[in-house]
Every structure is written in C-alpha cells, then in structure tokens.
Structure 1
Amino acid sequence: MKGSTGTKKGKNSTGHGNRYLARVLGEAAVGAARTGRFLGERYRRIARRRGKKKAIVAVDRSLLVIIWHLLSDPDTRNTDLGSDHYDHRINPERRKRAHIHQLEALGYKVTLEPAA
C-alpha cells in the first residue's frame, strides 16, 4: 500500500526472507521463551520493554545465530549461559547507583548501611 508521497506504508516487514524458516523459528522461539534458560530469560527481559512480538523476533534471531555457529563450525558446542547470566553481568556498584537514583526520583531520601 502506498501513501500520498509514493512511500510504502503499512506492515513493518520487508517482504524478503524465507517465510517458512521464519515460522519454524517463531515456533522454536515460543518454546524457548517458556523455559527457565538463557533464551527464556532473554525473551522475558525484551518482552517487558518492547512487547511480546518483538521479543519473539529477537529470540528468533538469537536462535538463528546459535544455529549458524553450530552448523558452520563442527567443533563448536552450545553451552547455555543460564537464566542468571544478566544478573552476574551487571556491575553491582552500577546497580546500586541505579536503584538509589530511582528511589530519589520517587521522592525518597536514601541512606545506605552495609548489612551485618
């Protein structure tokens, strides 16, 4: 469908790509999203911010990258990073500052004491 300026309007799809592969990857991504593993946690993190459909597409791409690496190099092995991968990756000091900033933005005065 074209708009008044001759530009394409409508769906966000480019129309290129293998629709059968996209469908199979979509089903695999939905299955992976229900797990307690890395891809399931990736889906939940993205779905919170961007929505469920975009999260499925992001997990589709992650699956496709994993599959490509496994098929392109026979010596490659897939190791799951675990659902707590993002928790360990974020710097604790940075997380602390972010939480303090959020509380101050809500109108609280924050003083921290180390736990015993």
Structure 2
Amino acid sequence: MSRFPTAGHLASWARFAPKAKESVGKKKGRNSTGHGNRYLARVLGEAAVTAGRTDTFLGERYRRIARRRGKKRAIVAVGRSILVIVWHLLSDPQARFKDLGADFYQSRINPERKKRDHIRQLEALGFTVTLEPAA
C-alpha cells in the first residue's frame, strides 16, 4: 500500500472519489466519478449492496444515503468507505477493524434537540404540546 500515501489517493485511483466540475456556477458533466478499474468497482458495489442488508455501521450508512440520495449514490459512498477501511487495514499492521454499530448515528443526536424539534413539528401542525416526565 506504499504506492498510495493516503486512503484518498487510493479512492481517487479507483475512481471512487466524487469530483465537482463547475464553472461560473454551471455544473459540467453528469456528477460521475469517472472510469476506473471496473472489476474493483464491481466488487466494491456488490460488497456495498450486501453491507446494506446487514445490521452494521455500513448497512445503516447505506440505508441513510439511499433514503436521501438514491441507491446508486449509496453504493458508491459505501463502496468508498469499504475501500478506505481496506486501505487502513493494509497500510498499518497494528490496525484492527471495529464496527461502530448500526446505532452510531442515533447515539450522536442530542436528546434535547430532538425533543425541541418534535415539539416544533407538532406545533406547526396545530397542536398544543405539554410535556411531563415519565414516572
């Protein structure tokens, strides 16, 4: 892995790094990542789709992105994440993989902010909200 100084270099070589082509606010191209190694892309794509069916961090990442941006973009994003994980594992012999868990994103949400957002949404629908702590 000494050929690639960083995980970003490997992702760029494999064409799993998104690029934004823009000139004077006008988008150029089709927002694709380009032509890379099609065999690597196929394997990463299959791994990403399979990871999307699991109850892991990568599975939750796939589902979140697919919900917002679509399945194809989710495949590329999770494929890139897998490629970055592989680079770290191969470049550092001491590195060990530890899954962050499917609840990684949920555990990062501030409960007070979540409560405030739900109250605001209910009030926007015309309800009066009074909260009492559970017994």
Interval of TM-score (by shorter of Structure 1 and Structure 2): 0.7 to 0.9
**Cα 1:36–1:8 shift into 2, 3 Å:** closer
1:14 shift after superposition: 4.5
Tell me which stretches of 4 or more aligned residues in structure 1 moved more than 3 Å: 7-12
The match for 1:106 is 125
Q: What runs of 5+ residues in structure 2 fail to find an aligned partner?
A: 1-25
The match for 2:63 is 44
Paired positions, count: 110
AA in 2 matched with 1:15: G
Q: What runs of 5+ residues in structure 1 fail to find an aligned partner?
A: 1-6
Tell me, what secondary structure is at the counterpart of 1:40? helix
- CA RMSD of the aligned region, Å? 2.0
Query: Residues 50-74 of structure 1: CA distance to partner in whole angstroms, max 9, x if unpaired?
Result: 1111111111111111111111111
The match for 2:48 is 29
The match for 1:57 is 76
Hey, what's the Cα distance between the residues in 2 that align with 1:20 and 1:8?
Answer: 29
* TM, length-normalised to structure 1: 0.83
1:114 shift after superposition: 0.7
Query: Residues 2-59 of structure 1: CA distance to partner in whole angstroms, max 9, x if unpaired?
Result: xxxxx99764324342222111100000111110111111111111111111111111
Hey, what's the Cα distance between the residues in 1 that align with 2:33 and 2:78?
Answer: 19
* TM, length-normalised to structure 2: 0.72
Identical aligned pairs, as a percentage? 79
Say which structure, 1 or 2, has more relative contact order (CA 8 Å, 6+ apart). Answer: 2
